Amino acid sequence: MSRYPNPLRLVILAIGFGLARLDLIDRERAVRTTDLAWPRIVTGLARMSKSAIDVAMVGVAVGTSAVAGVGFAGPFYGLAFVVGGGVAGGTIALVSQRYGADAREELGLAVRSSALLVVLISLPVTAIFWLYPHELISLLSSNERAIELGARYLGIVALAVPFAGLNIMGGRVLIGADDAYTAMQLRAGGAVSNIVLNAVFIFGFGWGVAGAALGTVLSNVVVTAAFAAGLSRGRFPGIGDFPVRIDPFGSYVDSATLRDLVEIGAPVGARNLVWIAAEFPMLGILDIFGETTVAAFVIARRIWGLMNTPGWGFGLAASSLVGQHLGANEDAVAEAYGREIIRFAVATYLISALIVAALAPEIVGLFADDPTSPEVPIAVSLVYAACVAVIFQGVAGAAAGPLDASGDTRVPFVSQFIGMFGGSIPLAYLGATTDLGYWGLYLAFLAETTVPAAINYLRFRTGKWKAISESYRPETTPADD
C-alpha cells in the first residue's frame, strides 16, 4: 500500500518513525500500521467533513434554527452507524482472523451473514424515522422552527440508514483483509459526492435541509452499489482488484456464524449506541441553555468529529493487524501491535489537538454566516475543551482495537457507558442547572474520554483478550510455506 503517495501518510509515517527512534514502537510495525490507518483516517476526515459542511451549508443558507434542527436529527440518523457499526464489529473480527488463517470459505460466509443482519436490523429503523420524524424531534426541543427543520431532514435521511450500515460493513471487510486503501476510495469518494450533491441541492435548487438529506441518501446508495459490485466480482472498474471475492449466491444463514456476529457485534453496537443515546439527554440539557448554545455545541461536536478521525484509523488498524496475528496463532506479535498502536495513536492525537487549538477561532468562524454571531465564542471555548479531551480518546480508541479483534467487546461498551452516563451527562446537567455553567460542558467532554481510556487500557494490559479470542478463531490454520 505504500506505493500510493499521500501527504497524510507521510505525516503519520514521520510520527511513527520518530517514535521508532525513541524505541517506543518497531519501525516495520509503524509502516504496516500507517498503511492501514491513513486511508481510514482519510475516510473519516471525508465523512466528518461532509457532516461539518452539511451544518455549515444549512447554517449559511437557512440560519441558526437549521443548525439546531439538523443537530437534533443527528442522533437519530446516527442509529444507522449503531446498526452498521455493531454488525461490522463482528465482521472485522471474523474476517481478519479468517484472512490471517486463509480460511476463505468461512470468510465469505461471515460477509454474507453480516450483510443480512444489517438489512434485517436497519429496515425497521428506517420505517420509524420515515413515519414519525416530527414526533421524534419534538422529544428533544420545544423550538417549533428547529423541530420543523429537523423533522424535514430526518424524514428524508431515514432512507439512507440501511445503505449507510452496509457501507460500514463493506469497509470493515476490506480493512480486515488488509486493504484500507480500497475502502477509503469508495467511502471517501461517496463523502465527496455527498458534499457536491448537497451544494447543488441546498444552494442551486434552494432545498435547504431537505437538500442536505437527499444528498446523503443518494451518495450512500451509490457507495453501497460499488461495494456490492466490487466484492462480488473481486474488482471494481477504476479502482482495481479487491483483496477478497465474495460469492453473492452462497449461504447467508449459518447459525454458528450469526451467533458469533451477534456475540461480538452486539457490545460494539451497544458501545456506539452509548454515543448516540447520550446525545438525546445532552441535547435536552443544552436546550435549557438556549438555541445559541445548542448551535455552538453542534459546531463543536462536528469539529470534535474531525479531530477524532485518527482514532478510526488506528483503532481499525489494531483490529485488523491484531486479528490477523491471532488467527495465525501469533499471540505475542498481536500484543506487540496493540501496545505500539496505542502509543502511535496518542502521539498523533496530541499533535492534531495542538494544531486545532491554535486555529480554533478561525475554524469555528467557518460555521457561521456572521463571525460575530453569539454562538461563535461559545463554540470556540468548547473546542478548546475538546482538544484536551481528545488526547485521551486516542488511548480509549486504540486500546479498544485489540479487544474488538479478539471478540472481547463487552469491556469497551461498559467503559463508554460509564464515561457518558456516569460522568459526561451528569456534569452537563450540573452546568445547566447550577452556577457551574459552561464548565459543566467542558468537564463533560473530559469525562467522556478519560474514563474509557483508563478502563480499556487496563483491560488490554491484563491480556485476557487473547484467551477470549480462541473461541472465535477459525479451525483452519495457515498452510506451511
Q: What is the pLDDT of residues 26-65, one digit of tens each?
A: 999 999 999 888 887 877 777 666 666 767 777 766 666 7
Residue 479 resides in a domain: no
Report percent pLDDT > 70 for the chain: 93
Confidence (pLDDT) at 50: 67
Residue 16 resides in a domain: yes
Asked if pLDDT for residue 3 goes beyond 60, the answer is: no
Query: What are the distances in angstroms from CA 208 to CA 80, 114, 159, 216?
Result: 22, 35, 18, 13
Asked if pLDDT for residue 2 goes beyond 60, the answer is: no
Confidence (pLDDT) at 5: 58
Q: The dihedral of CA 193, 194, 200, 201: what is its sign?
A: positive
Q: Which grid coordinates belong to 46?
A: 471525508
Residue 480 resides in a domain: no
Print the domain residue range for 48: 7-469
Among the listed ranges 2-6, 116-120, 237-241, 450-454, which one has the minimum average pLDDT value? Answer: 2-6
Asked if pLDDT for residue 481 goes beyond 50, the answer is: no
Residue 2 resides in a domain: no
Residues 220, 244: Cα–Cα separation, whole Å: 22
397: buried, middle or exposed (CB in 10 Å: 19+, 13-18, 0-12)? buried
Q: What is the largest CA-CA distance in the chain?
A: 68
Residues 456, 453: Cα–Cα separation, whole Å: 5
Question: Pick the residue with more confidence: 20 or 304?
Answer: 20
Confidence (pLDDT) at 49: 67
Residue 478 resides in a domain: no
Residues 15, 240: Cα–Cα separation, whole Å: 30
What's the domain count of the chain? 1
Residues 396, 212: Cα–Cα separation, whole Å: 32
Using one digit for the tens of pLDDT, what is the confidence trace for 385-428? 999 999 999 899 899 988 988 888 889 889 999 999 999 999 99
Residues 434, 445: Cα–Cα separation, whole Å: 18
Confidence (pLDDT) at 480: 40
Question: Pick the residue with more confidence: 334 or 47?
Answer: 334
Confidence (pLDDT) at 205: 87
Residue 56 resides in a domain: yes
Using one digit for the tens of pLDDT, what is the confidence trace for 175-189? 888 787 888 888 888
Residue 158: DSSP 8-state: G
Mean pLDDT of the chain: 85
Could you tell me which of 206, 177, 164 has the C-alpha nearest to residue 58?
206
Confidence (pLDDT) at 188: 80
- pLDDT-derived band at 230 (thresholds 50, 70, 90) equals very high
Contact call for residues 452 and 396 (beta carbons, < 8 A): yes
Q: Which grid coordinates belong to 11?
A: 505525516
Residues 375, 289: Cα–Cα separation, whole Å: 12
The values of phi and psi at residue 235, to 5°, are -165, 165
Residues 437, 433: Cα–Cα separation, whole Å: 8
Helix/strand/coil for 241:
strand
Confidence (pLDDT) at 51: 67
Residue 331 resides in a domain: yes
Question: Pick the residue with more confidence: 276 or 252?
Answer: 252
Report percent pLDDT > 90 for the chain: 30
Contact call for residues 117 and 258 (beta carbons, < 8 A): yes
Segment 151-173 mean pLDDT: 90
Helix ranges, 132-254 (H) = 133-138, 144-157, 161-176, 180-199, 208-233
Confidence (pLDDT) at 475: 62
Using one digit for the tens of pLDDT, what is the confidence trace for 196-217? 898 899 888 888 888 888 998 9
Residue 477 resides in a domain: no
CB atoms within 10 A of CB 276: 18
